[in-house]
Chains A and B, each alone.
Chain A
Amino acid sequence: MLFTTIDFIVFFVLILAAVAIIKHRKFQHLILLGGSYYFFYFSSNYLIVLLIFSTILDFYLAKMIHDTKDAFRKKLLLTISLAGNLGLLGFFKYSDFAILQFNILGNYFDLSTEIPLFNLVLPLGISFYTFQTLSYTIDVYRGNLTPSKTLSEFALFVAFFPQLVAGPILRAKQFLPQLREKIQNFETTGNIKQSILKNSNLKFGITLMAFGFFKKMFFADNIAPLVDDIFFNPIGAESFTIILGALAFAIQVYGDFSGYTDIAIGAAFILGFKIPANFNKPYFATSPTEFWNKWHISLSSWVRDYLYLPLIFKNRKSTLRVFTGLLISFFLIGLWHGAGLNFIIFGIIQGLFVGIHTVIRKKIPFLGNHFFFKTKLGTIISIAITQYLTFFSFLAFRIHDMDHLFYSMQKYLLLDFQIAETIGVIQSHKISIILMVSFMIIHFISFKKGNLVEKFANLNYFYWVLFLITGILLILLFYDGNPTDFIYFKF
């Protein structure tokens, strides 16, 4: 069920009504769990079995890990959890990719047989909920978390519908206490009539959701045609056309993914749950490292906590170790995005950027602390260089064909200073260009003025209604009759 459909609006209103009417917290959670399973079943049909399998597996394994005193048994149980979750993810997401590479290798060595592909359907949200359940088991193994007491509580953590299919990747430490706190409050106060629906939550949540819908349906979906036209076959394109395409894709992917996240966080907030932010104006980052602290925060922090830090744990001072750890981490971040060489290249490029930046900061500290980088001009230059490099790596994110990708990368870096074709592209995509410029202006205002969502949520009712009317109207006027997939649904 896509957020941008009437199906979701109806579903959400029904869930909200049920939660508001049924005051008992435990029943509310059961409704949310049932609703979340319906939400998933609506889009994925029988593949819901995988979600339930993953939930049951980790619930009981984590319990056993917590209960056992034997270190070897703990390790064994954790290994089973890792194998079970990563096995499912690997089988459904990467088996065809692996077979394809094997067949290519076989052709290279003139092997006459080819292994047939499985052609499996990629289960929706598998990359997200697998990482979520894994973090839970690992946290219990490390002794950082007390396992969930009831299966239904844990199941709601895994399947909570606002963030189920495209994150943010929740940590049990962030979510389970919210469930428990409410139940405990209810039991101690006994205030059956207390409603979960708070006005401040409702107004802020709706504002955030409106921002999300606007980013996705007004900006991302209407910039997509320009991106598609440039990158379907970029061979022969001028440097400026490629740069324009990269910039357009950067806006599209940000609008699409952060739009989804805003809707998810907003919906959760209305229901009384706090989901951590996933973006923090990443296009104003002044270095590759800062970019990853602002972009897809739940994934980068997951990789940092469960992969990168354990990798460099024994030797944090070794530059080589840190660099290698970063490269491996970003290689896996790339692979997490999709089973394709282009995603691996995306990960490696980002790994190199962050790795080189980290090494420079470590080895030449005076450069990082130089007063120039603290001036306005220095900051602008840092932002420009960081984003130029980031958009360069986005080429690998967007272009799947290797010939097309290498051509585009070459044109992006070695400028040909031709402009004729680019003008033609701009003329035939006037609306997309206008939207790109508008997006950049709004993004800049948001950067300068702070949290725009909060500002709009705090408007008095008259202006708040005007804001909603404007947003809904623009979305409707640019709606093309069919909802479009979110980019991150493919991951």
Chain B
Amino acid sequence: MIKSVNSVRKTTFSIFIAFVFSVSIFLFIMSITPDYKYLEHKEFYSQDLTGEKIFIFGSSQIYALNPVDISSHLLKQGHDYTVYNLGQGSSDAEEQLRTIDFVISQEPKIVVYGIAYQTFYSHGRTIVETPPESLISPPKLSDLLSIISLPYNTGLLDNPKFATINTFNHFYQKQTRNFQEELEHPYLNTPFFVRTPNAEIPAEQKDLEKDGKLANYKGNEIYPMNKNRTYSALKELTHILNDHNIEVIIFTTPHLKNWLEQVPVQQKEIFNSMLDDLEKEFNFEVFRLHDKYDVMDIWIDNDHHIAHSEKTDFYSEEVAKMILTRIDE
């Protein structure tokens, strides 16, 4: 009997030790793991960015926005702002939340966020619907972890997978290309976009036809609002920025007509319900560009149009107008 009790204690102690060691090793790895994407942001935001600032967030769909053009449009109307296009390929609101403290520290006047259908793709992620708040429940693991502060990589603990994958990708890329080469940016004030010459050549019409490979809609699941993690992250981001007196402008990025026609009706409904919900919750207008330029001859693929061209200057102008509208309000 005593032997059995001792064995139970030994096993319980072993479990405790395993937890302590694994969590300690995990925290150690997190604190030394160079999450290059995160560090890139940290480096940018640690600069002394003087003057009134406007930040633009989004993914590759905002590549064609020229922040210098936007600044000059605003200046013509008597508003002196330095605009930064801080978009990054495949970035989403969850990733953006990780660097929110850096953003706030720079005290931008306005944050412009370009969203698309892709912003809300699940890629296997969902929110588990939570029970009513009246229930007493233990704290969430993520809440517990976010209490812990590491020397750097703050925010990583909310989603360790980001760090693991970024590190993995970094080493993979290092093997496949010369990492030391100087990266060229498409315009000034676009620190996270790398110049891609392909983005300057419009695709041929046959490639964009419905049965052509480019126009074949390769989407992903968009979960409804109550189960959509990136939508939840976008709202959280907007709330945090608003709480710090930073104005938020949200617009939908343009898409090609053929592509839009292939988006399943259910996804369109979910997307539109999100836009309506954002307008209702934050009491602002969501500027809708997603079907505004769908038939123009400006596309390199389904959801990206050409950059570095007079043909697409209207895009930057359109965003400048949104900012002016909000400033006037």
On A, residues with C-beta under 8 Å from B are 2, 5-7, 10-11, 41-45, 195, 197-199, 202-203, 206, 221-222, 224-225, 227-229, 232-233, 235-236, 430-431, 461, 464-465, 468-473, 476-485
Contacts and interface: CB of A to CB of B under 8 A. Distances in A.
Contact of B11 (A11, A199, A222): A199
B164 to A, nearest CB: 5
30 contacts: A5-B141, A41-B135, A43-B131, A45-B135, A195-B4, A195-B5, A195-B8, A197-B8, A225-B123, A229-B218, A233-B219, A236-B216, A431-B168, A465-B14, A465-B17, A468-B18, A468-B22, A469-B22, A472-B19, A476-B22, A477-B26, A477-B164, A479-B160, A479-B161, A480-B161, A481-B142, A481-B158, A482-B127, A482-B229, A484-B128
Given A431-B168, A478-B161, A6 B144 contact: yes
Contacts of B14: 461, 464-465, 468
Contacts of A236: 213, 216, 218
A45 B130 CA distance: 10
Given A431-B168, A473-B26, A476-B160, A484 B125 contact: yes
B124 A221 contact: yes
Contact of A481 (B10, B25, B161, B221): B161
A482 B227 CA distance: 11
Q: Determine which residue in B8, B17, B159, B220 has the highest number of CB atoms from chain A within 10 A of its CB, and name it.
A: B8
Contact of B124 (A2, A228, A483): A228
B12 interface: yes
Contact of A233 (B10, B25, B137, B218): B218
A10 B132 contact: no
Contacts of A197: 8
Given A203-B11, A478-B164, A482-B127, A233 B217 contact: yes
Interface in B108-136: 122-128, 131-132, 135
Interface of B: 4-5, 7-8, 10-12, 14-15, 17-19, 21-23, 25-26, 29, 94, 122-128, 131-132, 135, 137-142, 144, 158-162, 164-165, 168, 172, 213, 216-221, 229
Given A431-B165, A469-B22, A235 B125 contact: no
Name the prevailing secondary structure of the B interface residues. Answer: helix
A236 B302 CA distance: 15
B126 A485 contact: yes
Nearest to B13: A461
A206 B7 CA distance: 14
Q: Determine which residue in A5, A227, A470 has the highest number of CB atoms from chain B within 10 A of its CB, and name it.
A: A5
Contact of B137 (A42, A225, A235): A42
B160 A483 contact: no
Question: A-B pairs with the 6 shortest C-beta distances?
Answer: A224-B124, A468-B18, A199-B7, A472-B22, A225-B124, A481-B159
B8 A199 contact: yes
Contacts of B125: 480, 482, 484
Contacts of A224: 124
A5 B124 contact: no
Contacts of A229: 123, 218, 220
B176 to A, nearest CB: 10
B259 to A, nearest CB: 12
B38 to A, nearest CB: 14
Given A202-B11, A468-B14, A480-B161, A228 B25 contact: no
A482 B128 contact: yes
Contacts of B132: 45
B142 A469 contact: no
Given A199-B4, A431-B168, A473 B25 contact: yes
A468 B8 contact: no
A48 to B, nearest CB: 11
B220 A6 contact: no
A363 B193 CA distance: 67
A112 to B, nearest CB: 22
A480 B141 CA distance: 11
A484 B126 contact: yes
A430 to B, nearest CB: 7
B168 to A, nearest CB: 7
Nearest to A485: B128
Contact of A42 (B17, B22, B131): B131
Nearest to B222: A232
Given A45-B131, A236-B216, 5 more contacts: A43-B131, A225-B123, A468-B19, A478-B164, A479-B160
Contacts of B25: 469, 473
Given A232-B219, A468-B15, A11 B124 contact: no
